Amino acid sequence: QQKIIITIDGWSSCGKSTLAKQLARELGYIYIDSGAMYRAITLYFLRNHVDWTHPEIVHEAMQHIRLTFMSNHKSGQSEMHLNGENVEYVIRDLVVAEKVSEVAAIREVREFAVKQQQEMGKNKGIVMDGRDIGTVVFPHAELKIFMTAENEIRVKRRFQELYEKNPNITMEEVRANLEMRDYIDSHREVSPLRQADDALVLDNTNLTIKEQLEIAKKWVVERV
């Protein structure tokens, strides 16, 4: 059967990665979490006190960053490695989330990430989620999904996820972070978050995880 490229873009915390992972598993495709790359670069900048407001400092720092996705033997899921270290867990921290949108707005950072993302999609059979995947990374993808959900639902879902790791976190902090990221992501100059003209909208405010998967699978069948 012919393999396609599936892109999933949308606002923060509306379940893009949940859907992307399930679709990839069902289809036997590769799943790539593009946000993990921006998070890992942000982690590197924070740890190494890189002043990312200076393009030449960013350029120098980028020479020392190697990102790889490695499959976890136990779970079978792909995990983000930064210079050989598994950072899949730490990059989900709010400390990284607070800065990632600033870092992801830098042109050189995006060029670095997009190049690798396009390379990974060369042989198709891939589901990638992010903000600019259907518009910039794979503008010719066979299936583009744009996900959205009501604000409060997104805040609650992300709060629950983060609370399990850190019970000190508040709903307010999570709400502020989502609003800030969505604002920066959709207003930046380079590859702002927007719905591709040919994307199909999936609003999952009132859908279960199973229902959204069924809808997406129907869309896939129409395209392969």
CB 221 to ligand C5P: min, Å:
26
Asked whether position 39 contacts ligand C5P by CB under 6 A, the answer is yes
Asked whether position 35 contacts ligand C5P by CB under 6 A, the answer is yes
The answer to whether the annotation marks 124 as part of a ligand binding site is no
Contact stretch for ligand C5P (CB under 6 A) within 24-32, 33-41, 62-70, 148-156: 33-41
CB 134 to ligand C5P: min, Å:
10
What are the DSSP E strand ranges found in 1-136? 5-10, 30-33, 67-71, 78-82, 85-86, 126-130
Own/partner pairs, 137-142, CB within 8 angstroms, 24+ separation: 137/7, 137/34, 138/5, 138/7, 139/196, 140/5, 141/4, 141/5, 141/6, 141/7, 142/4, 142/5, 142/6, 142/223, 142/224
Asked whether position 131 contacts ligand C5P by CB under 6 A, the answer is yes
Q: What distance in Å separates the CA atoms of residue 38 and residue 134, rounded to the nearest whole number?
A: 17
Q: Which residues pair with 145 in a beta bridge?
A: 8, 200
Asked whether position 38 contacts ligand C5P by CB under 6 A, the answer is yes
Asked whether position 130 contacts ligand C5P by CB under 6 A, the answer is yes
The answer to whether the annotation marks 18 as part of a ligand binding site is yes
Which chain residues interact with ligand C5P by CB under 6 A?
A: 12, 34-35, 38-39, 100-101, 104, 130-133, 181, 185
Residues making up the binding site for ATP: 10-18
